[in-house]
Structure 1
Amino acid sequence: MIIKTRFAPSPTGNLHIGSIRTALYSWLFAKNNLGSFILRIEDTDIKRYKENSIENIINGLKWLNIDWDEGPYFQSKRIDRYNHIINNMIKKKLAYKCYCSKEELEKNKIEQTLIGKKIKYNGKCRNLTNFFNKDNKSFVVRFRNPDHGIVKFKDKIRGTIIFNNNELDDLIIKRTDGIPTYNFCVVVDDWDMGITHVIRGEEHINNTPRQINIIKAIGARIPIYAHVSMIVNKSGEKISKRFNNIDILQYKKSGYLPEALLNYIVRLGWSYGNQEIFSLNDMKKLFNLNNISKSPSILNVNKLNWLNKYYLSKLPKQYMINYLTNFFKKKNININNGPKINDLYNIFHNRCNTLKEINNLCYIFYNTPNYSKVNLINKYLNLETKEILNKLLNKFTLINIWSLLIINTSIKEISIELNLNFSEIAMPLRLAITGMVNSPPIAYIIYLMGQKKVLKYINNAIKFILINNKHY
């Protein structure tokens, strides 16, 4: 059997980590088995369609280097195919038209709730023969689900799963607007496209018996299913497609590398011994469905940062030099007004978690600090630290040879003179010259920034303290 998998997102929200994990697992399983991977866009839900979603899906997959062998196919272009099958199902009494109004259905729902019954369609139109005024009355099409027996399938992750047919509904397969529904379209698509394995989130488990019954009704082949567990945040809440999630391309904007993000995502439910670092080739070679866990996976940004820092450290020096050069060009920054790019690389290499952190730290040398934007301003720039800054200003003014050794020595001398530890000196100094509370070792920053700018910024900080405390 030639393995064929698919990723079938709907353009109704962000392409988040959960979606990408589904795509990645499906893609890797196909690649590992020398099969093919299909991209399909399920775009029939017009009401919830979000502009640019399809473009974001395509761009997100391309950024992560997840390529597809076929597609993208669009469900919106296959409506005639779906309707052709639905019409045949109606003729064969595998499906039927339902004329029940919303009011009738709501009344039925309330009645079932009051007597403690499972809420499902009561079958009023199931065997209707008198189609009164049918041309003037709207209808949906329902699948005639078997009313006895069981649906049994073996999930590659969860083992055997059984549903009783009498617990299932005669689900709607075509809406009043003439558009077929998800549970029907996905069955026809998987059939037509020869999908052998369906890898998707566990929220689809309840859809599976309904889809299997439709598959049997139309004479299609039942694919093999693998339902992966949910991904939760640190509070244990499921990440949502439309709420409380981060679009995958936002990770790109935040400075994460695609290799790091894929390495992180593949480990959200899958493992291979104690190995943590996986290249794309490693993933393709080692991935299988047997090592996927049933337990929920917890998002951990610290783990992602650790991986991204690792991959950043492995980038060739020339790559980062080119990256910084292009960054400065895009921001119209004149690099002649600051340190050499090679010096910036040396100070930030192996210190930053993301490219964005590197970008922000580079700004230190070209932007005048804005103290009013810092939350901890009163803690580090106040009348007490003003004395520290005054002494540093005088000490730095007297330096004739601007070197790393002399800068470090000067800070230590002030520390001894004021009987303060190094951090008590460094924090107000760091904020004064960078406008930030976190940075690489402050002596490196001071050295690269140059004596003229350092003296200017310390002066600015002292003036800010005086104005902030109304001492003129």
Structure 2
Amino acid sequence: LPTFAHPPMIHGLDGKKLSKRHGATAVGDYQHLGILPQAMLNFLALLGWSPGNDIEVMTVPQMIELFSVDGLLKKAAVFDPAKLEWMNGQHLSLLSSAELEPRVTPALVKAGLATERELADRRDWYLRLLGQLKVRSRTIDDIVRQAEPYLRDDIAYDPAAEAKQWKDRPATADLLRATRDALAAAASWEPAPLEESLRALAEARGVGGGKIFQPLRVALTGLAVSPGIFDVLVLLGRERSLARVDAAIRHLAA
């Protein structure tokens, strides 16, 4: 006789059977939220099954190879959206920029941040941007949010970032003026000479590099978190970077 088995029931975080009242439950809903198909499949496979050895992030061939009925769990599985986002971030990081491109481009176009033609015309730059943004992203939507400062001419300053990094507005404006001068004097607009200029400024002022980099990050992106500051400078380019610092100085003086 054949052996019959099934995975356990799926519960929400409250321990009750998963239903619409727990939020999005249809696969299509998560697609719109920027969840990758392979991440969703990996996540669902682990609801009630374990390959052992603390293995979590797997490709489909790996799951097929590792699967056995013995790995099925008896107790109810818990659908944890935060775990799904984490899993998605792991799968995002495994994709090359070229593999991410067809997934991210429609989302950027839908958000009004760029047209397909604009991104195609700057493809090398666009792929470098994706390579930087995927590191700190868990969903396609995260990438879109992070991409905004690089695709718009004007930026808005996050109030929390401004409050934390620009507490003393006159002192911050003075620091940004000195930072702008140091950047403008860099031998070339590449990470190494830019870092050399800013670290020399930090040493001259007797402060750590972070005291220079963090206020500058807010000036360039409007955010408290971004890729490495020198990567941000190179992605924005010399003209836009200096213009952003000038705009921040004016904002601080208002």
TM-score for both structures, normalised by structure 2:
0.78
Q: Partner letter of residue 440 of structure 1?
A: P
Per-residue CA distance 1:315-334 (angstroms, 9 max, x = gap): 35532344455555554443
Task: Determine the structure 2 residue equivalent to 1:452.
Answer: 239
1:276 equivalent to 2:56? Answer yes
Higher percent of residues as helix: 2
Matched, 1:245 2:26: no
The match for 2:155 among 365, 369, 386 is 369
| 1:421 has 2:208 as partner | yes
Q: How many residue pairs align between the two structures?
A: 243
The secondary structure found in structure 1 opposite 2:35 is coil
Distance 1:239 1:394 in 2: 61
Q: Which amino acid aligns with 1:254?
A: L
Question: For residues 254 and 420 of structure 1, do their structure 2 counterparts lie closer, same or farther at Cα, with a shift above 3 Å needed?
Answer: farther
2-structure distance, mates of 1:309, 1:342 = 18
Aligned equivalent of 2:35: 256
In 2, the alpha carbon distance for the partners of 1:239 and 1:408 equals: 54
CA deviation after TM superposition for structure 1 residue 232, in Å? 3.8
Q: Secondary structure at the match of 1:276?
A: coil
> What's the secondary structure of 1:340's corresponding residue?
helix
Which residue matches 1:292? 73
Shift in Å, 1:350:
4.4
Q: Is the 8 A contact 2:165 2:215 kept in 1?
A: yes
Deviation string 1:92-117 (CA, Å, 9 cap, x unpaired) is xxxxxxxxxxxxxxxxxxxxxxxxxx
Counterpart-to-counterpart distance in 2, 1:462 and 1:259? 45
Matched-pair contact (CA < 8 Å) for 1:270–1:293: no
1:313 counterpart residue number: 93
CA contact (8 A) 1:264 1:304 kept: yes
RMSD: 3.2
Specify whether residues 354 and 257 from structure 1 end up closer, same or farther in structure 2 by C-alpha distance, changes over 3 A only: same
User: Which amino acid is 1:447 matched to?
Assistant: V
Q: 1:378 aligns with which of 163, 168, 181?
A: 163
Partner AA of 1:398 in structure 2:
A
Structure 2 residue runs of 5 or longer lacking an equivalent are none
Please report how far the alpha carbon of residue 452 of structure 1 lies from its aligned counterpart in structure 2 after TM superposition.
0.9
How many Å apart are 1:363 and its aligned residue? 2.2
Letter in 2 for 1:310: Q
The one-letter code of the counterpart of 2:220 is I
* Aligned positions of 1:179-258 closer than 5 A: 228-233=8-13, 236=14, 238=16, 241-247=19-25, 248-258=27-37
Rounded to whole Å, the distance in 1 between the matches of 2:44 and 2:34 is 16
> Match for residue 144 of structure 2?
359
| Correspondence 1:303-342 to 2 at 5 A | 303-327=83-107, 330=110, 331=112, 332-333=114-115, 334-335=118-119, 340-342=125-127
* 1:400 to partner: Cα distance: 4.9
- Using CA pairs under 8 Å that are at least 6 residues apart, name the structure with larger relative contact order, 1 or 2: 2
CA distance in 1, matches of 2:48, 2:125: 44
Q: Which residue of 1 aligns with 2:230?
A: 443
Partner of 1:387: 174
Question: Normalized per residue, which structure has more strand?
Answer: 1
Normalization by structure 1: what TM-score?
Answer: 0.45
Distance, in Å, in 2 between the alignment partners of 1:429 and 1:338 is 27
1:449 to 1:364, Cα distance in 2 relative to 1, 3 A = same
Post-superposition offset of 1:229: 4.6
Structure 1 residue 392, shift from structure 2 partner? 0.8
Q: CA deviation at 1:257?
A: 0.9
What secondary structure is seen at the aligned counterpart in 1 of 2:21? coil
- 5+ long unaligned stretches in structure 1: 4-28, 30-155, 157-198, 200-225, 468-472
> Secondary structure of the equivalent of 1:438?
coil
Q: Secondary structure at the match of 2:34?
A: coil
